[in-house]
Amino acid sequence: MLPAVRTDQEWQAVVWDESLVRPAAEDLAARLCLTGAGLRRYPEGSRPVYAVGDRLVLKLYPTVSAPDGVTEARVLEYLHGKLPVATPELLAHGEYENGWRYVLMSQLPGTELAAAWPAIPRAQQDQVVSAAGELLAALHGLDPDRCTRSSARPTGLSSSPASARRPSSASAR
């Protein structure tokens, strides 16, 4: 369904072509037992990312950036529950086809900071900046070697969609 993407030129031709990418995202959602949840592509970003319903996020990694999908899965798994703020929960990840990879994660509630920032009073902006500094300090306090040894193994897809891991409503929060 999706062609291999090995060069920047192929990336530009394929990644932004919704007529190619969306059917693959729908197929992948079906394989993950998420048919009918509704897909909405995020307009920003460097790769295809879809909201799946209002509680999940599906990210696709073209062949050339497939290692980034492995890295993101490891980092999500490692960070979950280790920071003073909520982080998305890794629900499934693995290879899709033609070298493409995917990551399925929970979606955090709220509004993007860039959109909310102008309406936040100055004193509260200062609090947000301070909290961001505390978050960065907590992040830097974690052992990066443990992240590289993460047990994130591909999950979610098998030869049968019925046996794919389906996120429970409790784990999708």
Name all domains of the chain by residue range, CATH numbers in brackets.
Answer: 8-159 (3.30.200.20)
- Would you say 147 and 75 are in contact if contact means Cβ atoms under 8 Å apart? yes
Rounded Cα distance, 100 and 94, in Å = 9
pLDDT of residue 62: 93
Global confidence as pTM: 0.80
Mean pLDDT of the chain: 85
Paired tokens of 4: 């291999």
Q: Name residues whose C-beta falls within 8 Å of residue 3's C-beta, 6 or more positions apart in sequence.
A: 10, 14, 20, 98
Rounded Cα distance, 93 and 91, in Å = 7
- Band (157; pLDDT cuts 50, 70, 90): low
pLDDT in tens, 55-90: 999 999 999 999 999 999 999 999 998 988 899 999
pLDDT in tens, 100-130: 999 999 999 998 888 999 999 999 999 999 9
